Amino acid sequence: MGELNDYLREKLRAAGRRVTSPRQLILEVLETSGQHLDAETLYERVKARDPDISLATIYRTLALFKEMGLVKEHRLSGKRSLYESAPDEPHYHFTCLGCGEAVDFGTPLVSQIEQELREQEGVSVISTHLFVSGFCAQCRAESR
């Protein structure tokens, strides 16, 4: 976590923002969860470690971190926003239409498509979003 805190300090100071314990804790919980969390779930996990934190602090911090590129917000299930720490490697999302579970996956095919698009159309690709939806193995098994 030392590297994470150093990284956070550097990014916040560069943006002229203060480094606070709640900000450190929120990013740490997101980073170590390995999941996409909604604000309420994040709040419960952070509150378990710091009972004085408020839901408003969670929302303000998520907005700040999103603006700074430290977290990404996704509407994978279409119902609520889910957050994850900004990944180092590009990845894409599969969302189960049954249970709402979000699964990250990587594929070199997207990079190939981006390269072909650059070559054929002369465009500059800034970001790519790929959202795949369907039913996870468990939901498929339950529907049989």
pLDDT tens profile 45-63: 999 999 999 999 999 999 9
Residues 39 and 107 in one domain: no
Residues 73 and 32 in one domain: yes
Do the Cβ atoms of 89 and 107 come closer than 8 Å? no
Cα 93 to chain centroid, rounded? 11
Q: Report the pLDDT averaged over residues 5-22.
A: 79
How many independent structural domains does the chain possess?
A: 2
Do the Cβ atoms of 74 and 102 come closer than 8 Å? yes
Closest CA to 103 of 78, 81, 135: 135
SS3 content of the chain, % helix, strand, coil (to 5): 50, 15, 35
CATH number of the domain bearing residue 43: 1.10.10.10
Better-scored residue on pLDDT, 2 or 112: 112
Q: Distance between CA atoms of 93 and 114, rounded to whole angstroms?
A: 17
* The pLDDT value given to residue 76: 58
43 pLDDT band (50/70/90 cuts)? very high
Q: Report the pLDDT averaged over residues 100-118.
A: 82
Last residue of a domain, one of 85, 113, 128: 85
CATH number of the domain bearing residue 120: 3.30.1490.190
Last residue of a domain, one of 58, 85, 112: 85
Q: Report the pLDDT averaged over residues 39-44.
A: 93
Q: Report the pLDDT averaged over residues 72-84.
A: 70
Residues 76 and 127 in one domain: no
**CB burial of residue 58 (10 Å; 0-12, 13-18, 19+):** buried
Do the Cβ atoms of 132 and 92 come closer than 8 Å? yes
Q: 9: domain range?
A: 2-85
Q: Report the pLDDT averaged over residues 64-72.
A: 82
Residues 109 and 130 in one domain: yes
Better-scored residue on pLDDT, 116 or 71: 116
Q: Distance between CA atoms of 72 and 108, rounded to whole angstroms?
A: 21
Residues 25 and 76 in one domain: yes
18 pLDDT band (50/70/90 cuts)? confident
* The pLDDT value given to residue 5: 61
Q: What's phi and psi for 37, nearest 5 deg?
A: -115, 140
